[in-house]
Amino acid sequence: MRIEIINTGTELLLGNTLNTHAAWFGRELFKLGLRVSRQSTVPDGEAIHEVLTEAIMRADAILVTGGLGPTSDDLTREITAEVLGLDLITDEAALRSIEAFFALRNYPMADANRKQALVPVGADVLPNPNGTAPGVYIPPRLNGRSNCAIWLLPGPPRELHPMVHAEVVPRLCALSGIDRPVEVLELKFTGIGESDFHQGIDAQLAEISGLEYGYCAHVGEVDLRLIGETAVLEKAREITLAKFSDFLVSDDGSSMEETLVKLLDQRGMTMAAAESCTGGLICHRMTNVSGSSRVFCEGFITYANEAKIRSLSVPQEMIEREGAVSEAVACAMAEGALAASGACIAVAVTGIAGPSGGTPEKPVGTAWVAVALRGSATQAKRFFQPRNRKDFKQAVSQYAMNQVRRQLLDIPASR
Amino acid sequence: MRIEIINTGTELLLGNTLNTHAAWFGRELFKLGLRVSRQSTVPDGEAIHEVLTEAIMRADAILVTGGLGPTSDDLTREITAEVLGLDLITDEAALRSIEAFFALRNYPMADANRKQALVPVGADVLPNPNGTAPGVYIPPRLNGRSNCAIWLLPGPPRELHPMVHAEVVPRLCALSGIDRPVEVLELKFTGIGESDFHQGIDAQLAEISGLEYGYCAHVGEVDLRLIGETAVLEKAREITLAKFSDFLVSDDGSSMEETLVKLLDQRGMTMAAAESCTGGLICHRMTNVSGSSRVFCEGFITYANEAKIRSLSVPQEMIEREGAVSEAVACAMAEGALAASGACIAVAVTGIAGPSGGTPEKPVGTAWVAVALRGSATQAKRFFQPRNRKDFKQAVSQYAMNQVRRQLLDIPASR
């Protein structure tokens, strides 16, 4: 099945807004075992005429986003009807929904919004509970020029995503003869690279019939997505974990921070962080997780040496003797954070993010990471990855959080 | 001039990698006064044949990214030559560069890399100091099928971006008759929305001949980009600041955090932050700036009430009486951070990020922000914006940092 995505929006081509639609659709369709053949972006207005006219002759299904708003630049509805030779009529139910949307919010409805209830005769109106623009589905039987199905969808992700799940996926499955979405398994790994997977398991995975798989590499993380039937997934998972279980962060799509919050919660434990070169990123990531307040109690962003000495009780002479970026200082920071916060486990990071501040012995990209756990010896590890400042912070935070994760796994869950 | 972008890469359509090329090209071309008419993404391999064949009949210039690597899927070079009816030959200088790239890194060069030195006869080879794949420029005179200029460029941004600046921009300017890139002015604002600009200055800006402008809205920030000749920019800038100078973060493209580091540096001042609901984001943003270690000394991520009491000396009975999210606690946190860190200025944030934890009096989306400055009365402000957790953190951090910025502006610079 040949599927094309057309994104309309001048802001996407001026670089004002990053187009996240293409990647999002790619992932959603991948879950159905479908692929995007082509994605195009055109400006608002007349430009959609040309791209749609071409696409309906190539594709089996076209997903158009944007241009359903009330302004004069929003022409997706009108031009699609024109290209297909269909008349537009006001859908009374859609009009009432739009009126209700404004009434609920006590906003006056502008006359311009009335045109959002226009739909090609015979097309399905797709409800939009999150905005004023209903979507439109034009089945192949209404399309006099080709056998292509067309969806017109709103641009804002918070309106688009629920509509795709509720209205597009079922129709796409029916059209493409998919009984139900296949299962998807997402395994997240850290500490190894994409090439390790290629060399380690690619050949074995490629032999499993009925399996689709793909890698996605981020800073400090590689995600492996597997799709197929249950038995196929189980086999792929076994092969993967036989080789790489030591590096597994999660097998349910959870991020490192979500995994840590869950592990801490299950153990009734609290965590603190002492950060120098990561500058608050570990704390920021932990507190991005809803519910983290139960387990994440405190962070010490001790960028300056005086802060390390005062807030974490790192001995001044230790910093002078060993340097701020050293195993001893990392351990002292972790132990200081444990003592000051009263947490059950504490992680500490000290390093040189660069671009300046490196020395031959401690080049930019060096960090020491320590984890202090009540009743255990503090463990420290050296990390070295020269990268740009932001990626270095991300990579070190991931490495440090993974050290916490590994120590937590050795502690039995209490709930 | 009609310019099209073609991005090749299966990973872009599977959703593994977000396509940032389109937005980046949009911004770079905007600086030249040029616009992208269409952007298309196709998978690796044969798919580029179809999209390129179509595009050369529509466009004056085509920028192709990706598919210049050494693997069997990398066919951009071969297919472009085929579409244009040109022969490929090995460029000896390009081959020597590729060999040198490997020699410098002590890697063995694979035979597959030899094909990266293939170029259509007569085309320009574009050096790639950051990778193995040289770029290719095919001027209109070599294109037997249309009058379109074609660039073949590497996919990785760290290779692509320098090559575009060095090799594409000058040729594009020559082709489109631009003497030199026009000037660009980027003004960043916070505390107002895009619609305020539309209503406030759009009509006046639209009247300035020779001015191109565009808005870019982020969470807590609107950027206004102006392009044109010096006199035109000065006029646009005057009109804009006459209305909105109170909300200006920077007029040189600097982010809020870069602006704060600069303002602190100029005043010889240091800063600390006490964060509850923003959970480390202010510290993370400050420490993203190279050189921030001179001015940013310490952060206190006091998520738990006990941490506010212990590390920031917030009175326990104040938290019990007023609640952790209150003007009094925000002020006490800021003053506590000032005292504990020894900084010159401290910002504190306490709020309810949600999704849970709200009450009718203090709904999710409420925060109190306080700034304590040595020798001044601590100032606090209430913030309210119900948003998802991450956007709320970003919006509050921006609001809080802006309160620091405004206080710093009242202090004369000492250097």
pLDDT at A277: 95
A414 assigned to some structural domain:
no
Q: Where are the alpha helices (DSSP H) in A164-302?
A: 169-176, 194-200, 202-206, 230-244, 256-267, 281-287
Q: What is the pTM of this model?
A: 0.82
* A82 shares a domain with A54: yes
- Strand-pairing partners, residue B119, are B89
User: CA B85, CA B105: separation in Å to the nearest integer?
Assistant: 37
* A268 shares a domain with A245: no
Q: B residues 20-79 near A, CB within 8 Å?
A: 20, 22-28, 30, 35-43, 47, 50-51, 54, 58
* A290 shares a domain with A401: yes
User: CA B212, CA B229: separation in Å to the nearest integer?
Assistant: 10
Chain A CB within 8 Å of residue B389 CB: yes
* A103 shares a domain with A20: yes
CB count in 10 Å sphere of residue B170:
13
A386 assigned to some structural domain:
yes
Chain A CB within 8 Å of residue B378 CB: no
Structure tokens at B313: 């000396």
Q: Summarize pLDDT for B33-49 with one digit per residue, the tens.
A: 888 999 999 998 889 99
| Chain A residues lying within 8 Å of B293, measured CB to CB | 303-304, 357
Residue B71: domain span: 3-176
Measuring CA to CA, which residue among A49, A38, A95 is closest to residue A75? A49
| Mean pLDDT within B332-349 | 97
Measuring CA to CA, which residue among A68, A33, A76 is closest to residue A52? A76
Q: Which candidate from A27, A36, A389 shows the least CB-CB separation from B290?
A: A389
A20 backbone dihedrals φ, ψ, rounded to 5°: -95, -5
* A285 shares a domain with A233: no
Is residue B172 a contact partner of residue B34, using CB atoms and an 8 Å limit? yes
DSSP structural state of residue A62: E
Look at B283 and A288 and tell me if their CB atoms are within 8 Å.
no
Chain B CB within 8 Å of residue A13 CB: yes
Reduced to 3 states (helix: H, G, I; strand: E, B; else coil), residue A286 is: helix
Chain A CB within 8 Å of residue B102 CB: no
* B20 shares a domain with B110: yes
B54 assigned to some structural domain:
yes
Measuring CA to CA, which residue among A123, A130, A118 is closest to residue A154? A130
B184 backbone dihedrals φ, ψ, rounded to 5°: -125, 135
Question: What radius of gyration, in Å, describes the C-alpha atoms of chain A?
Answer: 27
Per-residue pLDDT tens listing for chain A (415 residues): 999 999 998 888 988 788 999 999 998 998 888 889 999 999 988 899 999 999 999 999 999 999 998 877 789 999 999 999 999 999 999 999 999 988 887 778 888 889 999 999 999 999 998 888 899 999 999 988 889 999 999 998 889 999 999 999 999 999 988 776 678 898 999 998 877 888 889 899 999 998 888 777 788 998 888 888 899 999 999 999 999 999 999 999 899 999 999 999 999 999 999 999 999 999 999 999 999 999 999 999 998 999 999 999 999 999 999 999 999 999 999 999 999 999 999 999 999 988 888 888 899 999 999 999 999 999 999 999 888 898 899 999 999 999 999 999 999 998 7
| Domain-ending residue, one of A176, A194, A228 | A176
| Mean pLDDT within B171-190 | 85
| Chain B residues lying within 8 Å of A63, measured CB to CB | none
Residue B118 confidence (pLDDT) above 80: yes
Residue B195 confidence (pLDDT) above 80: no
pLDDT at B33: 81
Chain B CB within 8 Å of residue A307 CB: yes
* Cα three-residue angle A404-A410-A411, rounded to 5 degrees: 95
B170 assigned to some structural domain:
yes
User: CA B206, CA B359: separation in Å to the nearest integer?
Assistant: 46
Is residue A272 a contact partner of residue A244, using CB atoms and an 8 Å limit? no
ipTM: 0.81
Amino acid making up residue A183: E
| Chain A residues lying within 8 Å of B8, measured CB to CB | none
* B202 shares a domain with B303: no
For an interface test with B, which of A303, A305, A341 has the most B Cβ atoms less than 10 Å from its Cβ?
A303
| Domain-ending residue, one of A230, A250, A270 | A250
| Domain-ending residue, one of B176, B201, B228 | B176
pLDDT at B177: 85
Summary mean pLDDT of chain B = 92
Is residue A264 a contact partner of residue A339, using CB atoms and an 8 Å limit? no
Is residue B319 a contact partner of residue B330, using CB atoms and an 8 Å limit? no
* B289 shares a domain with B226: no
pLDDT at A300: 98
* B172 shares a domain with B190: no
Reduced to 3 states (helix: H, G, I; strand: E, B; else coil), residue B213 is: strand
Residue B370 confidence (pLDDT) above 90: yes
A121 assigned to some structural domain:
yes
A138 assigned to some structural domain:
yes
CB count in 10 Å sphere of residue A70:
17
DSSP structural state of residue B35: -
Chain A CB within 8 Å of residue B287 CB: yes
Look at A301 and B287 and tell me if their CB atoms are within 8 Å.
yes
Measuring CA to CA, which residue among B337, B380, B400 is closest to residue A299? B337
Look at A303 and B280 and tell me if their CB atoms are within 8 Å.
no
Chain B CB within 8 Å of residue A296 CB: yes
Question: What radius of gyration, in Å, describes the C-alpha atoms of chain B?
Answer: 27
* B274 shares a domain with B226: no
* B144 shares a domain with B37: yes
A264 assigned to some structural domain:
yes
CB count in 10 Å sphere of residue A379:
16
pLDDT at B415: 75
Residue A273's CATH number: 3.90.950.20
Q: Summarize pLDDT for B129-153 with one digit per residue, the tens.
A: 888 889 999 999 998 888 999 999 9
Sequence-ordered list of residues with C-beta below 8 angstroms from that of A153, at least 6 positions apart, any chain: A63, A64, A65, A68, A126, A135, A160, A163, A164, A168
Give the total number of structural domains in chain A.
3
| Chain B residues lying within 8 Å of A393, measured CB to CB | 284, 287-288
| Mean pLDDT within B274-288 | 97
Is residue A75 a contact partner of residue A163, using CB atoms and an 8 Å limit? no
Residue A196's CATH number: 3.30.70.2860
Look at B297 and A286 and tell me if their CB atoms are within 8 Å.
no
Q: Chain centroid to CA B194: how far?
A: 18
**CA dist B351 to B166, B274, B355, Å?**
48, 12, 12
For an interface test with A, which of B284, B288, B305 has the most A Cβ atoms less than 10 Å from its Cβ?
B284
| Chain B residues lying within 8 Å of A47, measured CB to CB | 37-38
Measuring CA to CA, which residue among A5, A151, A343 is closest to residue B41? A5
User: CA B41, CA A185: separation in Å to the nearest integer?
Assistant: 26
**Min CA distance, B89 vs chain A (Å)?**
30
* A287 shares a domain with A239: no
Residue A157's CATH number: 3.40.980.10
pLDDT at A181: 61
Residue B106 confidence (pLDDT) above 80: no
Measuring CA to CA, which residue among A281, A151, A15, A91 is closest to residue B216? A15
B151 assigned to some structural domain:
yes
pLDDT at B398: 98
DSSP labels for B114-162? GGGGEEETTPEEE--TTSS--EEEE-GGG-SSSS-EEEEE-SSHHHHHH
pLDDT at A132: 85
